[in-house]
Amino acid sequence: MQNKRKNKMDEKQLVEATIRIQDLIMDLIEEGLSPMAVAGVIQASATRMYRSILEDEEFENLMQTVVDSSRKIDSKTLH
């Protein structure tokens, strides 16, 4: 079984990527795009990336974890 994962990020790269993505998100919203639309595009893109990187079982486990964890979110704690 070939592992499709090739690139590893160090913490500095991860922080930089996070900042760049957050900046893009804010720019899109400030340009008038709906936050829900932006979130949907990001979620769909992430799902496609995971699908292309992970083996089938890993992908299915990840998606199940996402569903399970979404049921545990207490809306009163989100700001």
Q: Model pTM?
A: 0.69
Residue 71: its pLDDT value, please?
83
Question: What's the whole-number average pLDDT of the chain?
Answer: 87
pLDDT at 10: 87
Reported as a pLDDT band with limits 50, 70 and 90, residue 1 is very low
**With pLDDT > 70 as the criterion, what percentage of the chain qualifies?**
82
Contact in structure between 62 and 50 (CB atoms under 8 Å): yes
Structure tokens at 35: 């936050």
Distances (CA, A) of 14 to 7, 23, 29, 35, 55: 12, 14, 23, 23, 23
